[in-house]
A = this chain, B = another copy of it.
């Protein structure tokens, strides 16, 4: 039996079917259109296979509170025709099999944890630095979830003393996303990161903001590994700059992050990160449900 994986991004959708994340039988990619057009495309692809469950990693924000009436709904996204659309409910209606959903960044983290740069550790934080900044955290195979899914990209960090830019976040101005996202780079310098590769000051600022955020995540979550992905991190010289700054900022205060090369790493999975994670989500959730089913059964015998 096959598992369906959907990576629902703001600009493109990737669908795949496989028995495990490492055994993908077929895959397709198409642009994100309206919800109904997109669902039709998904159906067209999946109709060729017999699926036992579907996992979805979606752009957000999504309501992930299982006790909520709007569980699975995409909330106040700038993509207006997707706002308040319940992707989870629609998929459940279309297929009578279990469907599981989580945010794109949480799914990317899950994927790296099982198959990628987090394979040999017990906990990893995955941060994506692109148009926006988001992060997901997986510990002992579980995606971290509080009362809502974290919004780690919006934490407040100290302003670089030589940065006169006020920040680009429409909600918080100078939060991490407002000062360190690809959008902020473009607004501050008038060019994208790709056109600024040799401008030292650009990367001094970028590594300054990311390093402060990484130290904060570390002092709060104490992850074993931090994986940095997304468009901005294509600038490879950022890694050594960030590692050096993180080390200075921690200043030997905690002794669980001595080896910076092993602590801060690039992702390993590329194009298939999302769908692999979506398939992994379905596997994990089914296993969990199976276990709780077993527990229930076991109880009857005692």
Cross-chain contact A146 with B156 (CB below 8 angstroms): no
Cβ-based interface call for A34 (8 A): no
Cβ-based interface call for A80 (8 A): no
**Chain A, 117-175, CB within 8 A of any chain B CB:** 122-123, 139, 145-159, 171-172, 174
| Residues of chain B lying within 8 A (CB to CB) of residue A219 | 150-155
Interface size on A, residues (CB 8 A): 41
A147 partner, pick from B75, B123, B152, beta carbons under 8 A: B123
Binding stretch for chain B, among A12-20, A181-189, A250-258: A250-258
Known A-B contacts A156-B212, A216-B155, A219-B152; the reply to A256 vs B172 at CB < 8 A is no
15 CB < 8 A contacts A-B: A65-B256, A75-B255, A139-B146, A146-B221, A146-B222, A147-B224, A150-B219, A151-B222, A155-B215, A156-B157, A158-B159, A172-B251, A216-B216, A216-B220, A220-B221
Cross-chain contact B171 with A253 (CB below 8 angstroms): yes
| Residues of chain B lying within 8 A (CB to CB) of residue A75 | 255
Partner-B contacts on A (CB < 8 A): 65, 75, 122-123, 139, 145-159, 171-172, 174, 212, 215-217, 219-224, 249, 251-256, 298
| Residues of chain B lying within 8 A (CB to CB) of residue A249 | 156, 172
Known A-B contacts A156-B216, A159-B158, A215-B155; the reply to A222 vs B253 at CB < 8 A is no
| Residues of chain B lying within 8 A (CB to CB) of residue A212 | 156
Which residue of chain B has the shortest Cβ distance to A75 in the bound complex? B255
Which residue of chain B has the shortest Cβ distance to A302 in the bound complex? B298
Q: Which of A122, A156, A172 has the most CB of B within 10 A?
A: A156
Chain copies in the assembly?
Answer: 2
| Residues of chain B lying within 8 A (CB to CB) of residue A255 | 75, 148
Cross-chain contact A123 with B146 (CB below 8 angstroms): yes
Cross-chain contact B222 with A147 (CB below 8 angstroms): yes
Cross-chain contact B155 with A158 (CB below 8 angstroms): no
Q: With the chains together, A150 CA to B137 CA distance in Å?
A: 15
| Residues of chain B lying within 8 A (CB to CB) of residue A149 | 222
Q: With the chains together, A10 CA to B298 CA distance in Å?
A: 47
Q: With the chains together, A157 CA to B152 CA distance in Å?
A: 14
Known: A145-B222, A146-B224, A151-B254. 14 other contacts (CB 8 A): A147-B224, A147-B256, A151-B219, A151-B253, A153-B219, A155-B216, A155-B220, A156-B215, A156-B249, A157-B157, A158-B174, A172-B249, A172-B253, A221-B221
Cross-chain contact A146 with B223 (CB below 8 angstroms): yes
Q: Which of A148, A152, A153 has the most CB of B within 10 A?
A: A148
Cross-chain contact B150 with A222 (CB below 8 angstroms): yes
| Residues of chain B lying within 8 A (CB to CB) of residue A159 | 158-159
Q: With the chains together, A223 CA to B221 CA distance in Å?
A: 13
CB distance from A244 to the nearest CB of B (A): 16
CB distance from A71 to the nearest CB of B (A): 14
